[in-house]
Structure 1
Amino acid sequence: MNNTTLKIDITKINASKIPDTDFTNLVFGKTISDHMFVADYADGEWSNARIEPYAPLSLNPANATLHYGQSVFEGMKAYKNEAGEILVFRADANQKRLNESAKRLCIPEVPEELFMEGLRQLLELDKDWIPNRPGYSLYVRPFIFATDDYLGIRPSEKYKFMIFTCPVGAYYSKPVSVKVECQYTRAAEGGTGAAKAAGNYAASLLPALQAQKEGYDQLLWTDGKSHQHIEESGTMNVMFLINNALITAPTTTGTILKGITRDSVLTLAKEMGVKVEERFLRVTELEDSLRNGTLQEAFGTGTAATIAHISKIHINGRDYVLPEIKEDSFSSKILNTLDAIKYGKIADTHDWIIKIK
């Protein structure tokens, strides 16, 4: 990231919370760093860009987002290499996807300069919050929400764009068990499934909670029309290695999030010579592959989870236990390669890493 003429006012916290933070016992998303970036949208433009101490917001009870859900967000991670430099993985892709989500919800787009420079200065200021331990990182949460104080169903005229960060360890500490969901629907064609919209996640909470009560970590969502095709999981895209072919749902229907980790995995898989099939996997095909042993691996991909190995799949009242993942398994190799790129241990041949001083 290069220096820019964008002016960002900075107000530093009086005393950092770092001395009181246990970096060896981080619960994902619970510990928030010292500062946050904020910009306001009104009268057709973004202005008042600033960094200030992380603090609660003051909202009017008539705030439009509270009633009509005009809110989109992103998730990315920052790392440190051995030289202590800050490395951000594919932030440009996150910026583009945030704006794609914003357009779907009638939210004004955030200019690239505002996004990138706000991110750069925030990470420079809070660089000591980036953990130095393997497997740990600084999770970055950019988001936009409506700020009109008006009870009327129309796009808001005012918005806030914010970024805050939190040091994190692994999202999943062990392989996950999943249940194929054939009753509830996460997304339908023509809806907002491809947008990273807050409401999408609210609608998924009840069936996910029911699955957790039954002993499963997550759901495998199926299509809203027939419930016959696997789409994605609640926190990640999903991939299946069957007969040495990597199968994952396409993102062309508008029901599936265009995962940045998903795209990275598919790129690396093709370079490794693995056959990639972007197509819908039928539930019956998945069940057959579990029964006859042709399913070699199943895993989720996402910023928070990175690569989440799946150890058990529940379909039609039956649990299927998957083969144990080994160090030379495909998903393990992918995970190790991604981590090596993110921590600056191997060359970044795809220009995925943005380096901050």
Structure 2
Amino acid sequence: MNSIINDIEIIKSETTKINDVDFNNLAFGSVFSDHMLECNYKDEKWEAPKVVPYQSISLDPSAKIFHYGQSVFEGMKAYKDANEDVYLFRPLDNFKRLNISAKRLAMPELPENYFMDGLKALLEVDKDWIPKQDGSSLYIRPFIFASGSGFHASPANEYKFLICTAPSGSYFSGKVKVLIEQTYSRSANGGVGYAKAGGNYAGQFYPTQLAVEKGYQQVIWTDDTSHEYIEEAGAMNIFVRINDTLITAPTSDRILDGITRKSIVELAKAEGINVEVRKLSVHEVVDAAKNGTLKEMFGAGTAAVISPISGFGYKDEDFELPELEDTFASFLKKRITDIQTNKVEDPFGWRYKVD
């Protein structure tokens, strides 16, 4: 059945999978909603987006995504409050960052109304898929990839923009133990580390596997030249608390401008927490662990919001973090999630109601 929402054509699925889903036991990103948004770029312009049933995609074997890796994505969430109203968190930041990533990979940028109106139309069609359980949300994955064909090493002439959604529970449970990386690099100066490019994550998997084999769950990435400065934690930005000061690395060519990261910085400052955005050396962290001034470390990102770190390894030595009763991590996570789910006022203007 076809209809129109926000000038977006809607082609509804004839069936639904929602009755087969246990919303009380949702693994992250493994169950997918009934519909998706689809938009094609051809003849140097984006065609009108439309909502269609969630389905497989057929591509030519010579599609350039397979050969030259032109692929960028975003991660977002939709929430329902007690009144069944639907909210997003800083969605225009995701839209802007998607275009920043696309531009860096020589891909066409999207019009804002295609992204925002398409997303709102998709959420209207699949609003029953947005979980109401505490800690749950509808994870949203917008992405663009090269669908044009050819073996010539050049940008494609055709692209696809899709938004798929997945009802999900909490991303991480418990604290993680991390290894400070001293050999491999996530990104380099002048590279694509600040873009959410698929290849950035593919390059992380092998070093992370090596860390897992040593008994860690994740890697802390250091700078590409000296490996002396803390930069990111796995696929997340990282925060370190020394005494009562919260420290995070500045964004750069190498470090993603995380939306959760900058929300934490702004929120912490508003709550009177001393925040420093500066280079942080591995030796400063190790010395703080040894003298007892290292209080907390945690990752920050869309999926987990905040993921506490219980300890870290460096040069064959392990360091455990103290068990604190009141942590910056738990306080800031609650403040952000309460804003996201409309449980408290939003003085920052981050919450976006989907009408």
Q: Is the CA contact (8 Å cut-off) linking 1:236 and 1:305 kept in structure 2?
A: no
Q: Is the CA contact (8 Å cut-off) linking 2:310 and 2:320 kept in structure 1?
A: yes
Give the structure 2 partner of residue 256 of structure 1: 255
Give the structure 2 partner of residue 65 of structure 1: 65
Q: State the secondary structure of the residue aligned to 1:255.
A: coil
TM-fit CA distance, 1:48: 3.4
* 1:91-130 equivalence runs, <5 A: 91-130=91-130
TM-fit CA distance, 1:266: 0.2
- The CA distance in 2 between the partners of 1:147 and 1:173, in whole Å, is 37
TM-fit CA distance, 1:225: 0.4
CA deviation digits over 1:146-166, x for unaligned, max 9? 111111111111111100100
Give the structure 2 partner of residue 216 of structure 1: 216
Q: Is the CA contact (8 Å cut-off) linking 2:145 and 2:160 kept in structure 1?
A: yes
TM-fit CA distance, 1:106: 0.4
Q: State the secondary structure of the residue aligned to 1:281.
A: coil
Q: Is the CA contact (8 Å cut-off) linking 2:295 and 2:322 kept in structure 1?
A: yes
Q: State the secondary structure of the residue aligned to 1:267.
A: helix
- The CA distance in 2 between the partners of 1:346 and 1:8, in whole Å, is 33
CA deviation digits over 1:123-153, x for unaligned, max 9? 1111111111000000000000011111111
- The CA distance in 1 between the partners of 2:256 and 2:138, in whole Å, is 22
Give the structure 2 partner of residue 313 of structure 1: 312
Runs of 4+ with >2 A deviation: 4-7
TM-fit CA distance, 1:7: 2.9
Give the structure 2 partner of residue 276 of structure 1: 275
Give the structure 1 partner of residue 242 of structure 2: 242
- The CA distance in 1 between the partners of 2:95 and 2:48, in whole Å, is 19
Does 1:199 pair with 2:199? yes
CA deviation digits over 1:252-281, x for unaligned, max 9? x31000000000000011111112111121
TM-fit CA distance, 1:23: 1.2
Give the structure 2 partner of residue 286 of structure 1: 285
TM-fit CA distance, 1:347: 0.8
Q: Is the CA contact (8 Å cut-off) linking 2:5 and 2:121 kept in structure 1?
A: no
- The CA distance in 2 between the partners of 1:169 and 1:217, in whole Å, is 20
- The CA distance in 2 between the partners of 1:346 and 1:325, in whole Å, is 26
- How many residues end up aligned between the 2 structures? 352
- The CA distance in 1 between the partners of 2:78 and 2:129, in whole Å, is 10
TM value normalised by structure 1: 0.97
CA deviation digits over 1:189-229, x for unaligned, max 9? 00000000000011111001111122211100000000010
Q: State the secondary structure of the residue aligned to 2:49.
A: strand
TM-fit CA distance, 1:29: 1.0
Q: Is the CA contact (8 Å cut-off) linking 2:6 and 2:121 kept in structure 1?
A: no
TM-fit CA distance, 1:5: 9.2
Letter of the aligned partner of 1:268 in structure 2? L
Letter of the aligned partner of 2:240 in structure 1? F
Q: Which moved more, 1:148-157 or 1:136-145?
A: 148-157
Q: State the secondary structure of the residue aligned to 1:277.
A: strand
Give the structure 2 partner of residue 342 of structure 1: 340
| Among candidates 327, 330, 335, match of residue 328 of structure 2 | 330
Q: State the secondary structure of the residue aligned to 2:254.
A: coil
* 1:151-170 equivalence runs, <5 A: 151-170=151-170
- The CA distance in 2 between the partners of 1:7 and 1:153, in whole Å, is 37
TM-fit CA distance, 1:286: 0.7
Q: State the secondary structure of the residue aligned to 1:48.
A: coil
Does 1:89 pair with 2:122? no
Unmatched 5+ stretches in structure 1 = none
Give the structure 2 partner of residue 297 of structure 1: 296
Letter of the aligned partner of 1:194 in structure 2? Y
- The CA distance in 2 between the partners of 1:5 and 1:167, in whole Å, is 22
Give the structure 2 partner of residue 47 of structure 1: 47
- The CA distance in 1 between the partners of 2:193 and 2:81, in whole Å, is 35
Q: State the secondary structure of the residue aligned to 2:186.
A: coil
- The CA distance in 2 between the partners of 1:180 and 1:243, in whole Å, is 21
Q: Which moved more, 1:315-324 or 1:141-150?
A: 315-324
TM-fit CA distance, 1:185: 0.8
CA deviation digits over 1:297-328, x for unaligned, max 9? 111100011010111111111111111243x3
- The CA distance in 2 between the partners of 1:5 and 1:120, in whole Å, is 9
Does 1:140 pair with 2:140? yes
Q: Is the CA contact (8 Å cut-off) linking 1:7 and 1:49 kept in structure 2?
A: no
TM-fit CA distance, 1:6: 5.9
- The CA distance in 1 between the partners of 2:291 and 2:137, in whole Å, is 39
Give the structure 1 partner of residue 353 of structure 2: 355
- The CA distance in 1 between the partners of 2:23 and 2:210, in whole Å, is 32
Q: Is the CA contact (8 Å cut-off) linking 2:140 and 2:164 kept in structure 1?
A: yes
Letter of the aligned partner of 2:165 in structure 1? T
